[in-house]
């Protein structure tokens, strides 16, 4: 298969040379039906991929690459519960957390979907009772604030989704998210909070995550200082696989919620890790969120590759990463509430596919994950869009925009949508030197001034983008967007022959931190075994401490 994939990549490289003299705008000029042929809908969500450097021949080559890599076979293995996470000998069954098909996903003789439904019922019951004021703090007053303590997937998912779905949140209930081991994160969060009316949710699969447990212990100390040791059980809940450690911390069994090894951290928003989100938006909306993910699971399973949104997202990404040499990819949501969505996708994409070793431990044949980054539009237009339009690097862009706002003046949202569409058109069309000169002459500049300024007003254009347009940012729509990117990442991992479900790259830093922590905290600890830079930095820090 490796030779077949290499041949398919070589064919794509030859094809790139063939079409490199043609511009995206030329494709539109030659084909009035280009948009009609190059978009896909999933209910009210439209994926427009017409503004890409592709022809029908390009798509044929990309589909050949997908089949050479075995994308369809690997997709079947994923949904069948095979051990696709080969380095940890586990399946990746996050789809079971959002399944409404009634079909079982078997794991060691048990139905993972049934396990997920049972735990979801516990989460929903707890969330509803807290929302209704049945579950209260130690003083008998209802909770007004919920602090989620986690890191990585245990923080990014709930924090992103809570902000995105804030119009669906319970009035008077405030959500907070603490992740950084920097004590300022928790301290700043607690500044205006009353411990007597605050619930802390500790999210850690192993209940040993260094940063999370440091914050959890600090939060516990705050509760004890304000309310006494006996209040701990009333003010903490936990999501973990280690019930013994959770109990030792002081969390009651009925407030301890399960995770499973077959749920990776960056795929865990669908699980009990979403407890804070379920509390905030309520069980009904959380179920809609899950159904959005399920919509995409069915689409990804059933749609042929040429009509499959995540498959095409992935293949276009491979086209730019491996054939055109694009090293980064921007995600620009024209929605302020999706401000954390690019950061969420950074972990999903870069922790999954940021690998240089194949499934079998050999050096990867191709460049893998690009740098994923972005900010909301239109803010980005006044920051980094300069580079997108006139920089030396070509950076593919994903634009996301809703047709209708969840809460905004209609005219203001019209302006937001117009900005989104204008940016994608400008990136594609550009402005030639002659066009720039003509525009300056029309503004009244003389010929010499126009000739001098025109190069600065030239835009190369021919810069690709996809646009996701949907009715509104609802819980179901957010679920769809997340699942689309999840499956995109999976398809790319298949093409690159890497395991997207492990993350060994974070281990070395943890090990070295555990080794260095005593040397940092104990000012007389010897530094002889350290490299010169690390020893010098610790020594300088000691001198700064006085």
- Give Cβ neighbours of residue 177 (< 8 Å, ≥ 6 apart): 147, 148, 150, 155, 158, 159, 162, 276
Query: 206 Cβ partners below 8 Å, 6+ apart?
Result: 240, 241, 242
Distance, CA of 19 to CA of 29 (rounded, Å): 15
Each residue of 220-234: b (16+ CB within 10 Å) or e? bebbbeebeeebbeb
Count of Cβ atoms closer than 10 Å to residue 70 Cβ: 17
Alpha-carbon span 488 to 187, nearest angstrom: 38
- CB 289 within 8 Å of CB 478: yes
Give CA angle at 120 (114, 125), nearest 5°: 135
- Residues 466 and 48 sit within 8 Å (Cβ to Cβ): yes
Residue from 210, 229, 227, 260 nearest 94 by CA: 260
Q: Which residues belong to the active site?
A: 351, 382, 510
CA-atom Rg of the chain in angstroms: 26
Selection from 322, 302, 285 nearest residue 473 by Cα: 285
- The distance from CA 130 to its chain's CA centroid, rounded to whole angstroms, is 28
- What's the rounded Cα separation, in Å, for the pair 90 and 262? 6
Question: How many of the other CB atoms lie within 10 Å of CB of 2?
Answer: 13
Distance CA 291, CA 242 (A): 29
């Amino acid at each position: 298969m490796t030779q077949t994939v290499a041949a398919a990549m070589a064919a794509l490289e030859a094809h790139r040379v063939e079409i490199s003299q043609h511009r995206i705008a030329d494709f539109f000029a030659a084909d009035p039906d280009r948009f009609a042929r190059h978009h896909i809908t999933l209910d009210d969500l439209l994926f427009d991929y017409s503004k890409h450097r592709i022809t029908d021949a390009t798509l044929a080559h990309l589909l050949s690459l997908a089949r050479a890599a075995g994308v369809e076979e690997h997709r079947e293995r994923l949904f069948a519960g095979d051990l696709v996470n080969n380095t940890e000998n586990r399946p990746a069954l996050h789809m079971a957390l959002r399944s409404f098909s009634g079909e079982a996903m078997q794991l060691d003789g048990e139905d993972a979907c049934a396990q997920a439904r049972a735990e979801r019922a516990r989460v929903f019951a707890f969330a509803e009772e807290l929302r209704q004021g049945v579950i209260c703090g130690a003083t008998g007053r209802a909770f007004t604030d919920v602090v989620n303590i986690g890191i990585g997937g245990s923080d990014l998912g709930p924090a992103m989704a809570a902000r995105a779905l804030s119009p669906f949140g319970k009035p008077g209930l405030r959500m907070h998210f603490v992740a950084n081991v920097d004590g300022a994160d928790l301290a700043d969060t607690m500044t205006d909070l009353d411990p007597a009316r605050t619930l802390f949710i500790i999210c850690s699969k192993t209940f040993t995550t260094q940063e999370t447990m440091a914050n959890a212990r600090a939060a516990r100390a705050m509760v004890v200082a304000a309310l006494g040791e006996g209040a701990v059980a009333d003010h903490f809940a936990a999501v973990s696989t280690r019930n013994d450690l959770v109990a030792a911390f002081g969390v009651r069994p009925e407030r301890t919620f399960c995770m499973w090894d077959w749920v990776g951290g960056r795929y865990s928003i669908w699980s009990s890790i979403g407890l804070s989100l379920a509390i905030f938006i309520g069980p009904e909306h959380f179920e809609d969120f899950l159904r959005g993910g399920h919509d995409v699971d069915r689409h990804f399973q059933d749609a042929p590759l040429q009509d499959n949104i995540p498959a095409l997202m992935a293949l276009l990404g491979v086209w730019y990463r491996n054939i055109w040499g694009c090293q980064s990819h921007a995600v620009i949501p024209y929605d302020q509430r999706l401000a954390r969505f690019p950061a969420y996708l950074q972990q999903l994409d870069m922790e999954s596919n940021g690998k240089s070793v194949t499934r079998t431990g050999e050096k990867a044949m191709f460049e893998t994950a690009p740098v994923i980054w972005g900010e909301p539009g239109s803010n980005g237009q006044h920051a980094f869009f300069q580079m997108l339009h006139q920089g030396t690097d070509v950076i593919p862009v994903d634009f996301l925009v809703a047709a209708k706002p969840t809460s905004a003046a209609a005219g203001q949202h019209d302006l937001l949508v117009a900005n989104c569409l204008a940016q994608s058109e400008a990136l594609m069309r550009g402005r030639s030197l002659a066009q720039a000169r003509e525009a300056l002459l029309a503004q009244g500049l003389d010929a010499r001034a126009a000739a001098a300024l025109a190069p600065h007003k030239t835009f190369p254009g021919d810069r690709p983008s996809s646009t996701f347009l949907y009715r509104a940012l609802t819980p179901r729509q957010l679920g769809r967007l997340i699942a689309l990117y999840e499956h995109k990442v999976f398809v790319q991992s298949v093409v690159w022959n890497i395991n997207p479900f492990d993350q060994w790259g974070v281990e070395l830093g943890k090990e070295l931190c555990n080794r260095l922590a005593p040397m940092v905290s104990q000012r007389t600890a010897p530094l002889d075994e350290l490299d010169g830079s690390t020893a010098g930095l610790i020594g300088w820090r000691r001198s700064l401490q006085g």
